[in-house]
Structures are given as C-alpha cells and as structure tokens.
Chain A
C-alpha cells in the first residue's frame, strides 16, 4: 500500500475497530435483554437481532467489508456499510408498517364488537329491569 488514502492520516484504525466491536456487542446485549424482560416480543425482534449480528461480524472481520464492497462494486467500503445499514433499517420500518396495519385492523374489529356488545348489554339490562318490575307488580 504505497499511496495513503487521505482519510486515514493520523487515525488509529484499530481504535475504531474496538469501538465498533464494543458498540455492536452492547446493541446485541441490549436487544437480548429487552426480549428477556418482555419489552419486545420475539417475533418483532428478529430483524433487530439480525442487524446487530451483522454489525458485530463486520466489526470483527475487517477484510469482510472490503470484500463485500468489492462484490457490490462500491469503491469506498464505508459507503457499502451505509447502504447495508440503510437497507436493514428500511426492512425494519416496513415490518413496522405491516404490524401497524394489522393492529389497526384488529383494533377496528374490537371497537365494532365493543359497540355491538354494549348495545346488546344495554338492551338486555333494560329487558331484565322490565321483567323485574313486572314481577314486583
């Protein structure tokens, strides 16, 4: 490597790697802990887990990113990292939209059922009251 890339001047690249490893381990532990404490349901956490594992792998295996960016035809490896990150976040957000739509449908059905049952309840209450009044007479 004769010519130095301008961005690597006076930067300790190993320091960055340590930070990346620590960061992704923390993220992984954080998410696992959220699942353990039932703050996230397992089925909604899979994409987050996947994302944090990908982070960890990429921070441990430095040539990996170069390799992947070459595969993708990206000249600047960090750009490939951003792209991967962006795609992962997109997937998670789309999953959120799907979940929200499902929840909205469920909530609509529950609201309607609530209205119908409330009607039924009031109707029966009135009838029982009517019958009780008749018995008293």
Chain B
C-alpha cells in the first residue's frame, strides 16, 4: 500500500494567528462582496475592483443558485466562501468579518454585489480609515442637501427616520445609514466579527458602533443606478422599517458590547 506523503511543515516557527491561512493574505486590505444571485455582475465587479487597486477580494456567496460562487472562483482573482444555506446580508457580511479577523487583515471595505457602488470610490473610503480619522467610513448616496440619488418616496422616508433615530440615540447624523458601502479598521473588524446584527443590519450596526465608542464618519460617494436585481428595501416595506427601528432602539438599550 502506497502511503500519502506526510504533511510538510514549511517552517519550524510557531504558527501565529496571522499565519494560519498562509498564502491567503497578500494585502492588508480586504474587499468583501456579499453576493446572492449576482451572477450577471460578479465577474465584472471583481475585475473592476482588481483594476482599481491590488487588494484581496473575498466573495461571500450566500447560497446562490445561479452559480455566483463558481463564476467568482473562475476569475482566480478572489477568495470565495460559499455558505451552505442562505444567511441574508447580515450573516454573510459577518462571515467576511470573521474571515478578515482570522487572517489578520487591517482594513475592510464592504461593496455590495449588485454593482450600485462605485468602485473608484473605494480608495477614498480607505484613505480616511488609514489616516485614522474614523473607525468606520460610510459611503453615502446623499450630499449635504439630501440630493444626488433618486429613490422611491417610501425609501427616502425610511432613511429619514433612521437618520433621526441615529441623531437621538447616539447624537450622530448619518444621512444614509442603509448604505452597505463601508470601510472598517482592525478594531472594528474584531468587534463586528463577534457582534453583528442579522437580516437588515446596516442601520443597527451604526447604533451598535456609536454606542460602543467607535468613530463613524460619512462621505458622499457617487452611486450607479441599479443595473439589475431588486432593492431589498422597497420589497420588504413596512416590516423592514419596523424591524430595523426596533433593532436600533434595542441596540441602544442594551449594555455595551453585547
């Protein structure tokens, strides 16, 4: 019987936390793309990001059934985690935080898979994080006058209510708290890999981070109009509004970091 070659230990140094995934991390920045059935866009998006900067890319395929994960793997430019069943946006993004924490990334930028976020704004978000101006930078679709992006009446009202809640609960004005275009630093990654809201997490995460003393800043970024897919906000409507508002208030009422 032929035996399989034994595992070759490349070095005798103790394996540190950051070395567990040797060969995985080639940059200190990770771009995470939570994707559910985004096959129509994912290849293009990965190539676009890679041409923008030499960052590592992680696609979290949230149990898509249109082959998103396979297409992402095929590009050979991105790491791909395929979840065995659908977790929703919150669970997917947190998988990215856990991955980044495990492999010792210093910065994360979250970009949605639907192509709404303008990849040439990634550098700007990262710059603010690297200058240590903030722990989280939110790429907002609104400029100072609440203009710059067309969206439905209902959605605008929802976002206004979240803005008001943020102002009341953590005394911070975040105009576009539903935006999933965000950059985070190491401390935030560590924190969020333990605590991250599920379902529709973005506005709740703002309160959670504000309450726990992280510095949040918001910059205006140009957004692309949707090319395909559906916005989760319009579809879920009033239930979404209530769930998120309740979540924000409860997050505020809880003791710190829990």
B84: chain A residues at CB < 8 Å are: 111, 114-115
Contact of B91 with A by CB under 8 A: yes
Beta-carbon contact of A127 and B94 below 8 Å: no
What distance in Å separates the Cβ of A22 from its nearest Cβ neighbour in chain B?
45
Closest to A131 in B: B8
Q: How far is the CA of A114 from the CA of B81 in the complex (A)?
A: 9
Number of A-B residue pairs with CB-CB distance less than 8 Å in the complex they form: 45
Q: Which of B5, B91, B98, B198 contacts A116 (CB 8 A)?
A: B98
Contact of A8 with B by CB under 8 A: no
Q: How far is the CA of A104 from the CA of B5 in the complex (A)?
A: 41
Given A115-B82, A119-B81; A108-B91 close (CB under 8 Å): yes
B255: chain A residues at CB < 8 Å are: none
Q: How far is the CA of A111 from the CA of B8 in the complex (A)?
A: 30
Q: How far is the CA of A132 from the CA of B5 in the complex (A)?
A: 7
Beta-carbon contact of A120 and B87 below 8 Å: no
Beta-carbon contact of B94 and A112 below 8 Å: yes
What distance in Å separates the Cβ of A113 from its nearest Cβ neighbour in chain B?
8
Contact of B95 with A by CB under 8 A: yes
Contact of B53 with A by CB under 8 A: no
Q: Which of B8, B87, B102 contacts A108 (CB 8 A)?
A: B87
Given A112-B87, A112-B94, A127-B23; A119-B79 close (CB under 8 Å): yes
Residue-wise interface mask of B (65-93) relative to A, using a CB-CB cutoff of 8 A (1 in contact, 0 not)? 00000000000000111111101000100
Contact of A123 with B by CB under 8 A: yes
Contact of A5 with B by CB under 8 A: no
B102: chain A residues at CB < 8 Å are: 116
Contact of A118 with B by CB under 8 A: yes
Q: How far is the CA of A91 from the CA of B256 in the complex (A)?
A: 29
Most buried by B among A104, A108, A112, A135: A112
Beta-carbon contact of A116 and B99 below 8 Å: yes
A116: chain B residues at CB < 8 Å are: 81, 95, 98-99, 102
A94: chain B residues at CB < 8 Å are: none
What distance in Å separates the Cβ of B75 from its nearest Cβ neighbour in chain A?
16
Beta-carbon contact of B99 and A119 below 8 Å: yes
What distance in Å separates the Cβ of A98 from its nearest Cβ neighbour in chain B?
15
Q: How far is the CA of A114 from the CA of B5 in the complex (A)?
A: 27
Closest to A135 in B: B5
A131: chain B residues at CB < 8 Å are: 5, 8
Contact of A128 with B by CB under 8 A: yes
What distance in Å separates the Cβ of A97 from its nearest Cβ neighbour in chain B?
15
Contact of B15 with A by CB under 8 A: no
Closest to A117 in B: B81
Beta-carbon contact of B83 and A115 below 8 Å: yes
Q: List 10 A-B contacts (CB under 8 A).
A: A111-B91, A112-B95, A114-B83, A114-B84, A115-B82, A115-B83, A115-B95, A116-B81, A116-B102, A120-B21
Given contacts A111-B84, A116-B98, A116-B102, 8 further A-B contacts (CB under 8 A): A111-B87, A112-B91, A115-B60, A115-B95, A119-B79, A123-B24, A128-B7, A132-B5
- The chain B residues found within 8 Å of chain A, CB to CB, are 5, 7-8, 20-21, 23-24, 60, 79-85, 87, 91, 94-95, 98-99, 102, 198
